[in-house]
Amino acid sequence: MTSPRTTTSYALLGLLGLRDWTTYELARQVQRSLHWFWPRAERKLYDEPKRLVADGLATATSGSTGKRPRTVYGITDAGRTELARWLDEPSAARSSEFEALVKVFFADAGTLDQLRTTLDRIVAESVQRVSDLADNVDVGVADPAFPTRMHLNALAVRLQVEQELTVLRWARWARAQVDSWPSVHEPDDWDATGSLATLVAECRAAVG
């Protein structure tokens, strides 16, 4: 083994389990589907298949389109076995990065206008993401690449949609809250402490 496999290795192995792909196709497919819950830069997607081949989990078939090289990757039996084994392993915790929320959190280092702009941008980005998601799903339903996998796709997409809509609803709510604040330091008559208590109660109720 060249070095310990990462989740990215298995994500690509998973795609190779469905059919053969060139790296370029793989990169596009990752952006369309996996990107929502396992985002990786295109750059990585050119390195990773080589490692899979070195470990005997994938095969590389070099061809060409005229003078341009063209490598097609496929999965091996060892690859399928390893992929199935990986499904048993415990997973890393979910983690999300939200730079704009860091700006909201430290809003008192700036002005109320800055906070309002930050929230407006979050709403705009969120609307964009929800639209993109809907467009993607529309295409996937009208012309499914893997019709027999629709149910797995639907499980994953449902979470993505709920997540994006949750952010959008929150952003609109937060923007409305902030609208009545006289300054970034005072929430007017909003009872922040009481609101936190309500949230805690919701959490306790959900976990039973």
Partner DNA sequence: CGCAAGATACTGCCCTGTGCAGTATTTGAG
Partner DNA sequence: CTCAAATACTGCACAGGGCAGTATCTTGCG
In contact, 134 and 158? CB cutoff 8 Å:
no
Report 73-92 residues binding a second copy (CB under 8 A).
80, 83-84, 86-88, 90-92
Element (H, E) at 22: strand 21-22
Residue 70 or 162 having the CB closest to a second copy = 162
Phi-psi region of 70 (alpha: psi -120 to 50; beta: other; left: phi over 0): beta
Residue 65 binding target from DNA, a second copy, none, CB below 5 to 8 Å by type: DNA
Tally the C-alpha atoms within 13 A of residue 208's C-alpha that lie toward its C-beta: 0
**Closer CB to DNA, 6 or 160, in the complex:** 6
The contacts of residue 83 (CB under 8 Å, 6+ apart) are 10, 13, 14, 17, 75
66 binds DNA (CB under 7 A): yes
Residues 16 and 80: their CA atoms lie apart, in Å, by: 9
Q: Residue 176 interacts with a second copy (CB under 8 A)?
A: no
CB of 64 to a second copy, least distance (A): 31
Among 110, 145, 179, 180, binds a second copy (CB under 8 A): 110
Q: Which does residue 17 touch among a second copy, DNA, none (CB within 5 to 8 A, set by kind)? A: a second copy
177 lies in the binding site for a second copy (CB under 8 A): yes
**Measured from the CB of residue 99, what is the shortest distance to DNA in angstroms?**
10
Query: 16-37 b/e with 16+ CB inside 10 Å = b?
Result: beeeebbbeebbebbeebbebe
Question: Taking CB within 5 to 8 Å according to partner kind, which of DNA, a second copy, none is near residue 176?
Answer: none
Residues found near DNA in the complex (CB under 7 A)? 3-4, 6-8, 22-25, 28, 39-41, 43-44, 46, 48, 65-71, 92
